[in-house]
Structure 1
Amino acid sequence: MKSLTSALAIYGAFSTTRQPLGITDICERTGLAKSQVSKVLATFREQGFLEQDPVTRKYRVGPMSFLVGVAYAHTHVLTRQALPIMRELVDRCGHSAVLSVREGDTVFHLLAVEGPFFVDSRWRVGMSVPFHATAAGKILTAFDAPEVLDRLIAAHGLPQITPKTITDPAGLADHLAEVRAAGAAVTAGESAPGLVAIAVPVFGEHEHIRAALSFIMPLQGYEPDAAEAHVADLQAAARSLSFRLGAETYPFGTA
């Protein structure tokens, strides 16, 4: 079982980067010995889960990983229930919509529907995003148990990504309390310059947080006065999705 855990740690190193990784890179990320890493990588390569560049000798995600990822997205209950709601939302409002979840400590985009106001920045499906500097990450953290924030800060800190990133633990805790009270989070340039995101919570059974539903839009042309209307549109869609997922109430916006 220990060897399987080590193999999964090696494979998991590829989930948070879009760059090829060498054996030394993976050893640094996992703390495992080079000989062990080399053997595991060879097995994943032989099975098609990883590919190796013949020139650089570095590894990247392979076709079997892609197929497994597609199967995950297509069979996930959230994607099945959310897709028609998100399509209607984008058709009506025009902005790209993203559904994000957290698995362990990782916040990532599970589903996206592009709108005509296309923004090609940090919102693609499968992208992991910082919990403290994105609207989706803030929603997923604000509506989880209070100790989750302490654990995330202890494990990952609050790195400054842009000059607007909140890096003070007390300041972030106060900010997340405001997010929880409002049922919405708005970020402008906190994780990527020139990008605005507005997110609201999606609940499931027993009103447990299941996902964050967001609009992604360019900062240029964004009107802060329109944020309230965007939040209302998102909350209406999130309410419909929450009821589909088993929630009995949705405490924000109007029915």
Structure 2
Amino acid sequence: MAAESGAGTQAVERAMSLLACFTDEQSELRITELCARTGLGQSTVSRMISSLDRLGYVVQDARTGLYSLGPSAVTLGSVALNNSPLFCAARPIAQSLAHATGLGVNLAEFRDDRLFYLCNFEGARSPKSFTMSGRTAPLHATGMGKAILAAQDGEYVQNYFAKGFGHAYTPHTITEPAAMKAVLAEVRNRGYATEVEELAFGRACVAAPIHARGGQVVAALSLSGPLSELDLAGRQQELSLMVVEAADELSVALGFTVTFTPRSSLPLSSQEPPHGA
């Protein structure tokens, strides 16, 4: 029985390793490429891919012979998302915010020292031809990541960089713990974070933290888009108020008691130059 259990576990792990080979960068693969990526023999890969194909987790292009993820994989992802209280609460709020601003609205959880995107909606002025759901992003180079980092203690921030996570994506990326701690102090003071070309050139965002019932920051919400559309120099206060209110609404949906701050008492952040500009 133990031997059968071990063999079954190994088969599952091998099948999952094959599915994990498919990425945004390499969404279509040949059997030989799957062998190279997993280290499995061609007969093993062929047998397992055939089973995954039969079950709908992969599909083969009849013309090219290339495999890609199939409809069963999409179904599982949808089930996982629809089982998330955060996703279900955020979907109408994010969609409404994207429509009102014409900008992109993103929702991401704090998971394993990274952002894990649950959903995104694109406004008319910030279109994308792909979804962010299921993707990950670094904490230090994103507005949502900084909104989450601001809720962590100094030791966590120090260890984050000590682990080698603080890569530079552009010349504007903050890569030093001391500089990041100063930025995070500002984020805590004003209640939201900004990011200007720290992850990608020509892009910016404004983000606010989302609190769980116990008060811990578990996720963040952001408004993002091209620099020209966000216009942080002129619209930072307006956009920050909108994203903070939406994030607070999500926190309430998760059971957190929010003390709402009157608009007139919030910092006049639009008078401050955005970080990284």
Normalising TM by the smaller chain, what interval? 0.7 to 0.9
2:165 alignment partner in structure 1: 157
2:255 alignment partner in structure 1: 246
Superposed counterparts of 1:98-109, under 5 Å: 98-109=106-117
Superposed counterparts of 1:173-188, under 5 Å: 173-188=181-196
Equivalent residue pairs, number: 252
Aligned partner of 2:198 among 190, 201, 206: 190
Read off the aligned partner of 1:35 and give its amino acid letter.
Answer: G
1:90 alignment partner in structure 2: 98
Q: What is the Cα deviation at residue 208 of structure 1?
A: 1.5
**Percent identity between the aligned chains?**
28
CA separation of 1:9/1:173 partners in 2, compared to 1, >3 Å: closer, same or farther?
farther
Aligned partner of 1:34 among 40, 43, 52: 40
CA separation of 1:114/1:65 partners in 2, compared to 1, >3 Å: closer, same or farther?
same
**What is the TM-score when the length of structure 1 is the normalising length?**
0.79
Highest Rg: 1 or 2?
A: 2
**What is the TM-score when the length of structure 2 is the normalising length?**
0.73
CA distance in 1, matches of 2:102, 2:200: 21
Moved more, 147-156 or 123-132: 147-156
CA separation of 1:128/1:74 partners in 2, compared to 1, >3 Å: closer, same or farther?
same
1:199 aligned onto 2:207? yes
Q: What is the Cα deviation at residue 216 of structure 1?
A: 1.1
CA distance in 1, matches of 2:159, 2:32: 28
Read off the aligned partner of 2:168 and give its amino acid letter.
Answer: Q
Structure 2 gaps of 5+ residues are 1-5, 264-277
Tell me, yes or no, if the aligned pair for 1:235 and 1:253 is still in contact at 8 Å.
no
Cα-to-partner distance string for 1:14-55 (whole Å, 9 max, x where unaligned): 4674543567766787xx533398365554344322345567
Tell me, yes or no, if the aligned pair for 1:140 and 1:201 is still in contact at 8 Å.
yes
Tell me, yes or no, if the aligned pair for 1:199 and 1:213 is still in contact at 8 Å.
yes
CA separation of 1:26/1:248 partners in 2, compared to 1, >3 Å: closer, same or farther?
farther
Aligned partner of 2:140 among 132, 137, 145: 132
Read off the aligned partner of 1:170 and give its amino acid letter.
Answer: A
Superposed counterparts of 1:136-151, under 5 Å: 136-144=144-152, 148-149=156-157
CA separation of 1:103/1:242 partners in 2, compared to 1, >3 Å: closer, same or farther?
same
CA distance in 2, matches of 1:98, 1:118: 12
2:126 alignment partner in structure 1: 118
Aligned partner of 1:66 among 64, 74, 82: 74
CA distance in 1, matches of 2:65, 2:170: 33
Cα-to-partner distance string for 1:126-150 (whole Å, 9 max, x where unaligned): 3322222111222233324555545
